[in-house]
């Protein structure tokens, strides 16, 4: 997370935020940072930024969001989505961040099966974590 | 006999065979003639959450076209994940422009015309069979066995596709009750196990599974049931050494047993199905 | 002689109508060191892709089996890099998960069917991938019996699956472990070893050339 917030209109509607919005279909500016999503995320303990913080970076047009591990720890369980009072589906924002990375050739979570897995595990992992 | 088109998905033909065996046994006893759809393909497990990922809907839609080809209006799934992908793709292509693009891409198939309903075993048991009929047909009661009902996520989220009230679901509990069991709605029953993270981040999944199993045991459960083969794999194979040794079964195994399947070896193969 | 115009690697040539793509390339002056083998549609060496004017489709076929058409744009794909992890058949179990653990990328299939459209042998390639994914080894072996390992499906697959190596493993597992043993062959081998046919064979060996030819002509032929 940025240690200092530079509040300025210049950051709003940045191309990065627009792109994430386009891919996810979720308006990042609908979020008022209440943190309910993070409180309910069963994986928040393992993330380097909480779900609401990830969304904050997107609001600010900060591409640091692409260097976080959080989107790769998110399991798309939608616990955040069902409890957001503003109807923001952060799981979609997380997916957009994963896709933006993958499409730029950044694969922080390559899938290298270390044992036999059932189809359902492999299919899911490849779809979410590989380009 | 009532005909019912059925999409098994890969898991039912491999790791989750006992689930299929038990469920099909029970459905036959309940008067269903279950017809597996021909030439089906993997549904893709996880629904794409992105706006521009049309390709991810090709697999599910191809399966829906097969259902259409059978002259059927609805299709049954047992796997929670298959339910999610098929149901959500069926909804996704309600928008005409998307449907047109997918049909254009699937140039060797007949056009999908939409209007296929995707049902999960649980909704079928609740809305069509009914708990009372279910209870009256049971051959072997679970006899008060304390069954922790694990929903995981896909059955309940997103809201539009939930098989029940996503905040206070009860369908699995009511089914267990109808079979003569004592449902244990434990606190973690709706929390995700980590799903596909199991391939690269088994540490995270083990942490989640430990919490889920401790929560179930803490609520006094004798066993856990689920309808998701990925949950089953994770709860069975990713449990931390400290977690209690609690059996984790598919709902179909319990269902088959309650309906008197005479081949318990098919339902409870030692050491799992694989 | 009627001629057609074809474009080989982007350069136009007039070639006689009725030639195969392979013959047309040779007519145009190419000497095929790679991308050519049996010339009979069996070896799969001559994988080729082409487009026809006014048609969006990218066709894939064997150069030795496909006649040229006017306005064809042709490129050979003599080799498709494909991943084949090392394995010892004797160490493997004939179980579904064997395919998936050696070729986990099977799980990336999106059911687009591009592979099937590319297959010059008209195999149901996507169905075979799906059968492999769900661990049905006999079904994979059956569906891919006529694969010539041309690699065209592999070249076109968005999921980057190495199809023909999966097929080969499935057929090996099927042949080694899952098909019933041919008991009559074993019985016959024992009979041969026990000398049941020795007298007949010795009699044949003692014949002169003319008698041998006459015996050959008079042999019983199964109809
Ligand atoms: S719950 Fe919704 S509004 Fe609250 S922080 Fe999360 S996304 Fe923003
Ligand atoms: S979808 Fe991702 S961010 Fe949302 S609760 Fe689940 S793991 Fe957390
Ligand atoms: S969710 Fe699973 S079991 Fe269902 S078809 Fe897809 S991969 Fe196969
Ligand atoms: S709990 Fe985990 S595996 Fe099960 S449905 Fe949710 S994501 Fe799926
Ligand atoms: S299956 Fe693939 S490799 Fe085999 S013949 Fe068909 S296209 Fe060629
Ligand atoms: S081309 Fe690849 S992804 Fe498409 S159906 Fe064939 S194997 Fe699956
Ligand atoms: S040269 Fe062998 S198949 Fe064409």
* pLDDT digits 0-9 by tens, B52-108: 889 999 999 999 999 999 999 999 999 999 999 999 999 999 999 999 999 999 989
The verdict on residue B131 lying in a domain is no
What does the alpha-carbon distance between residue A123 and residue A126 come to, in Å, rounded to a whole number? 5
pLDDT at residue B242 is higher than 90: no
Using 50, 70 and 90 to split pLDDT, how confident is the model at B274?
very low
On whether any CB of chain C is under 8 Å from the CB of B106, the answer is: yes
- Token pair recorded at residue C182: 């041919």
CATH number at residue B51: 1.20.1050.140
The verdict on residue B228 lying in a domain is yes
pLDDT at residue B272 is higher than 90: no
Using 50, 70 and 90 to split pLDDT, how confident is the model at B273?
very low
Same domain, B20 and B50: yes
CA proximity to B77, closest of B131, B154, B177: B154
β-strand B223-226 against B146-149: which pairing, if any?
Answer: parallel
Same domain, B88 and B189: no
* pLDDT digits 0-9 by tens, B165-187: 999 999 999 999 999 999 999 99
The verdict on residue B127 lying in a domain is no
- Token pair recorded at residue C19: 């030639």
| Residue A88 CA from chain centroid, whole number | 12
Q: Which residues 121-140 of C have a C-beta within 8 angstroms of A?
A: 133-134
Closest atom, ligand 6, to C-alpha of C160: 2
| Domains detected in chain C | 3-76 (3.10.20.30), 89-178 (1.10.1060.10), 184-217 (no CATH)
Closest atom, ligand 3, to C-alpha of B11: 3
Q: Which residues 24-63 of B have a C-beta within 8 angstroms of C?
A: 39-42, 44, 55-56, 58-59, 62
C104-137 in b/e form (b: 16+ CB < 10 A) is: bbbbbbbbbbbbbbbbbbebbbbbbbbbbbbbbb
* pLDDT digits 0-9 by tens, A31-41: 999 999 999 99
pLDDT of residue B270: 62
What average pLDDT does this structure show over A91-120?
Answer: 94
What does the alpha-carbon distance between residue B127 and residue C121 come to, in Å, rounded to a whole number? 48
Same domain, B102 and B182: no
The residue of B10, B38, B62, B64 whose CB has the most chain C CBs within 10 angstroms, and thus the best one to mutate to test that interface, is B10
What does the alpha-carbon distance between residue B10 and residue B21 come to, in Å, rounded to a whole number? 14
pLDDT at residue A7 is higher than 50: yes
> Which residue among B121, B150, B181 closes a domain?
B121
Cβ neighbors of B203 (< 8 A, separation 6 or more) are none
Same domain, B175 and B251: yes
The verdict on residue B164 lying in a domain is yes
Residue B44 lies in domain:
2-121
CB contact under 8 A, A77 and B48: no
The verdict on residue B51 lying in a domain is yes
The dotted CATH code for A9-129 is 1.10.1060
pLDDT of residue B264: 77
- Give the 3-state secondary structure of residue B178: helix
The verdict on residue B22 lying in a domain is yes
The verdict on residue B48 lying in a domain is yes
What average pLDDT does this structure show over B14-32?
Answer: 96
Per CB-CB distance under 8 Å, the chain B contacts of A109 are 200-201
Using 50, 70 and 90 to split pLDDT, how confident is the model at B265?
confident
Same domain, B147 and B71: no
pLDDT tens sequence for chain C (223 residues): 799 999 999 999 999 999 999 999 999 999 999 999 999 999 999 999 999 999 999 999 999 999 999 999 999 999 999 999 999 999 999 998 999 999 999 999 999 999 999 999 999 999 999 999 999 999 999 999 999 999 999 999 999 999 999 999 999 999 999 999 989 999 999 999 999 999 999 999 999 999 999 999 999 887 6
pLDDT at residue A45 is higher than 80: yes
Same domain, B174 and B243: yes
What average pLDDT does this structure show over A62-91?
Answer: 96
| Consecutive H or E run containing B122 | helix B121-124
CATH number at residue B177: 3.40.50.11810
* pLDDT digits 0-9 by tens, C74-128: 999 999 999 999 999 999 999 989 999 999 999 999 999 999 999 999 999 999 9
pTM above 0.95, yes or no: no
pLDDT of residue A5: 67
Partners of B2 in beta bridges: B32
CA distances C41 to B221, C36, C118, C151, C152, Å, are: 64, 10, 15, 14, 14
Per CB-CB distance under 8 Å, the chain A contacts of B11 are 118-120
The verdict on residue B130 lying in a domain is no
> Which residue among B67, B93, B121 closes a domain?
B121
Per CB-CB distance under 8 Å, the chain A contacts of B157 are 77-79, 81-82
What does the alpha-carbon distance between residue B95 and residue B101 come to, in Å, rounded to a whole number? 10
On whether any CB of chain A is under 8 Å from the CB of B50, the answer is: yes
For chain B, the domain total comes to 2
Number of other residues whose CB lies within 10 A of the CB of residue C197: 12
Contact A74, A58 (CB under 8 A): no
CB contact under 8 A, C100 and A123: no
Pocket test for ligand 4, best of B46, B78, B80, B169 (most atoms within 8 A of CB): B80
Number of other residues whose CB lies within 10 A of the CB of residue B212: 30
pLDDT at residue A11 is higher than 80: no
pLDDT at residue A4 is higher than 90: no
pLDDT at residue A2 is higher than 60: no
β-strand B182-184 against B146-149: which pairing, if any?
Answer: parallel
What does the alpha-carbon distance between residue B113 and residue B99 come to, in Å, rounded to a whole number? 8
Tally of helices (H runs) and strands (E runs) in chain B: 11, 8
| Residue B217 CA from chain centroid, whole number | 23
What does the alpha-carbon distance between residue C77 and residue C79 come to, in Å, rounded to a whole number? 6
CB contact under 8 A, B42 and C111: yes
User: Could you tell me what percent of chain C has a pLDDT over 90?
Assistant: 96
CB contact under 8 A, A120 and B201: no
């Amino acid at each position: 997370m940025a240690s200092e917030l530079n509040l300025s209109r210049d950051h709003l509607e940045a191309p990065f935020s627009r792109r994430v919005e386009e891919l996810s279909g979720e308006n990042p500016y609908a979020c008022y940072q209440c943190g309910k999503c993070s409180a309910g995320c069963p994986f928040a303990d393992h993330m380097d930024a909480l779900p609401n913080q990830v969304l904050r970076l997107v609001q600010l047009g900060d591409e640091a969001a692409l260097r976080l591990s959080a989107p790769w720890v998110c399991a798309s369980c939608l616990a955040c989505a069902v409890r957001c009072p503003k109807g923001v589906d952060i799981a979609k924002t997380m997916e957009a961040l994963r896709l933006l990375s993958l499409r730029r050739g950044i694969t922080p979570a390559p899938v290298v099966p270390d044992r036999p897995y059932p189809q359902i595990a492999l299919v899911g992992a490849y779809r979410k974590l590989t380009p | 006999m009532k005909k019912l088109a059925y999409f098994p998905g890969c898991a039912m033909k491999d790791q989750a065979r006992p689930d299929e065996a038990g469920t099909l046994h029970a459905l036959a006893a309940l008067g269903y003639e279950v017809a597996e759809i021909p030439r089906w393909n993997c549904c893709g497990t996880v629904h794409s959450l992105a706006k521009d990922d049309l390709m991810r809907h090709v697999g599910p839609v191809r399966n829906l076209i097969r259902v259409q080809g059978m002259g059927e209006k609805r299709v049954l799934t047992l796997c929670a994940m298959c339910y999610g992908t098929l149901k959500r793709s069926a909804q996704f292509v309600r928008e005409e422009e998307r449907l047109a693009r997918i049909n254009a891409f699937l140039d060797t198939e007949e056009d999908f015309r939409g209007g296929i309903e995707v049902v999960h075993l649980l909704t079928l048991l609740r809305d069509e069979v009914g708990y009372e009929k279910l209870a009256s047909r049971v051959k072997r009661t679970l006899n008060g066995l304390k069954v922790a009902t694990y929903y995981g996520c896909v059955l309940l989220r997103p809201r539009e596709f939930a098989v029940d009230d996503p905040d206070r679901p009860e369908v699995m509990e009511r089914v267990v009750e109808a079979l003569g069991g004592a449902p244990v709605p434990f606190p973690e029953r709706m929390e995700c196990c980590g799903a596909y993270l199991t391939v690269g981040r088994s540490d995270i999944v083990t942490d989640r599974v430990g919490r889920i199993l401790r929560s179930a045991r803490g609520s006094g459960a004798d066993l856990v049931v689920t309808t998701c083969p990925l949950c089953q794999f994770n709860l069975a194979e990713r449990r931390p050494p400290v977690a209690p040794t609690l059996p984790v079964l598919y709902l179909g195994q319990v269902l088959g047993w309650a309906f008197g399947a005479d081949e318990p070896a098919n339902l409870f193969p030692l050491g799992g199905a694989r | 002689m009627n001629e057609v115009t074809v474009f080989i690697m982007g350069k136009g040539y007039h070639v006689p109508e009725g030639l195969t793509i392979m013959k047309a390339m040779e007519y145009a002056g190419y000497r095929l060191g790679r991308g050519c083998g049996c010339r009979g549609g069996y070896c799969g060496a001559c994988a080729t892709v082409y487009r026809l004017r006014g048609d969006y489709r990218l066709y894939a076929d064997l150069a030795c089996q496909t006649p040229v058409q006017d306005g064809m744009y042709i490129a050979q794909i003599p080799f498709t890099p494909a991943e084949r992890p090392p394995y010892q058949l004797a160490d493997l179990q004939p179980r579904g998960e064997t395919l998936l653990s050696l070729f986990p990328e099977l799980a990336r299939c999106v059911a687009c069917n591009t592979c099937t459209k590319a297959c010059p042998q008209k195999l149901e390639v996507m169905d075979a991938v799906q059968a492999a994914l769900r661990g049905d080894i006999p079904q994979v072996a059956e569906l891919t019996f006529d694969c010539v390992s041309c690699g065209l499906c592999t070249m076109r697959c968005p999921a980057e699956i190495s199809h023909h190596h999966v097929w080969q493993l499935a057929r090996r597992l099927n042949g080694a472990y899952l098909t019933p043993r041919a008991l009559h062959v074993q019985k016959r081998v024992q009979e041969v070893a026990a000398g049941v046919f020795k007298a007949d064979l010795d009699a044949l060996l003692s014949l002169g050339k003319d008698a041998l030819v006459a015996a050959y002509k008079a042999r019983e032929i199964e109809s």
